[in-house]
Amino acid sequence: MDNAGLGSREFNLPYFDLLLETQKDSGLDPDERLDFVHWGYWDDPSSFQPGLADYKKGQELLNQHIIDMADISDSMAVADIGCGFGGTIDELNHSFQNVELTGVNIDPRQLAVARERISPEAGNTISWLEADATDIPLPDNSFDRILAVECIFHFPSRQRFLNEVNRLLKPGGRLVLSDFCGYRQLKGKMAVPYPKMAGRRGPLARIIEGWFERSYGELGPSPGSEPPYGEMIANLALEIGEITDITRNTLPTYKHIYHFIDRYHVRTGKKLPDLVKATRFLDWTARLGIIRYVLLQFIQKDKD
């Protein structure tokens, strides 16, 4: 995963290096083009049919749950932070009228793919902005809704992202995001982000972090250093609306990732050992109920 030639970029996303390489592969079936880069959702996980078609349906359904939780309607200004290849923006573009859509991403390569693929429907506008989620160069009260689908664990600080959301959302606005959270805390509705090994940094934790850093990239600012969401928003005009644990519904995702890794090996002859190990770690901790996949909805109160 060679980052040469990318100048001063300050992010580490090896899986996107891989996906961008895969998406450019001329031997790739057009159906293998990815619109979303996130886990899938299945009402009945046992119904999952291995293969890209069913996986894409699962991704669409997860995306739909997030859009529904955000309660978006026509004529709103909506930002999707950490927008990947723009799949969520495109869905909004086709579902709503007179909307002002903004996709924000730290990776200009992904934004270039989104720009090329997606054009605004009549009456809608789409802007693509290269920026860090914790420092977004836009005016206060810019948005009615903000989404952050499966990306907050990459941001340099969840707290600074929430501060930005607090600044950017209009009163009455909503933020919906998905994150991996620790089970115990979630049970008490504390929803503690679980970026690494919950504060422990023994040799095993460092080995596991290494698998992640070399495959999914840097996860979270420092192990277990971030307080529960409830505490992070305590001094902001945000309140938690809904927290939904959908871990069970996302489990087929892991089968799909193993399948992707196998296909990649067949096509290129390259193995992806760190991606296999990091994915197995997430798969097992999710099955054991230790790390949960959670949708969180926040509501913006009046700002003083």
Ligand X SMILES: C[S@@+](CC[C@H](N)C(=O)[O-])C[C@H]1O[C@@H](n2cnc3c(N)ncnc32)[C@H](O)[C@@H]1O
Q: Which residues bind ligand X (CB under 6 A)?
A: 11, 13, 36-38, 82-84, 87-88, 104-107, 110, 132-133, 149-151, 154-155
Where do the H-state alpha helices sit in 10-127? 14-24, 52-70, 87-95, 108-117
Residue with tokens 């250093």, as numbered in its chain? 225
174-207: b (≥16 Cβ within 10 Å) or e: bbbbbbbbbbebbeeebbbbbbbeeeeeeeebee
What is the closest distance, in whole angstroms, from the C-beta atom of residue 101 to ligand X in the complex? Answer: 13
Residue with tokens 């509501």, as numbered in its chain? 299
Nearer to ligand X, 190 or 276 (CB): 276
Nearer to ligand X, 28 or 204 (CB): 28
The dihedral sign for the CA sequence 183, 188, 194, 200: negative
Residue nearest ligand X (C-beta atom): 84
Nearer to ligand X, 107 or 179 (CB): 107
DSSP-based helix, strand, coil % in the chain, nearest 5: 40, 20, 40
What is the closest distance, in whole angstroms, from the C-beta atom of residue 292 to ligand X in the complex? Answer: 17
Nearer to ligand X, 98 or 260 (CB): 260
What is the closest distance, in whole angstroms, from the C-beta atom of residue 106 to ligand X in the complex? Answer: 4
Rounded distance between C-alpha atoms, residue 98 and residue 151, angstroms: 27
The dihedral sign for the CA sequence 65, 71, 74, 80: negative
What is the closest distance, in whole angstroms, from the C-beta atom of residue 136 to ligand X in the complex? Answer: 9
Q: How many residues does the chain have?
A: 304
CB 40 within 8 A of CB 57: yes
- Helix crossing, 52-70 with 87-95: angle to 10°? 60
What is the closest distance, in whole angstroms, from the C-beta atom of residue 204 to ligand X in the complex? Answer: 25
Nearer to ligand X, 3 or 98 (CB): 3
What is the closest distance, in whole angstroms, from the C-beta atom of residue 110 to ligand X in the complex? Answer: 5
Nearer to ligand X, 173 or 220 (CB): 220
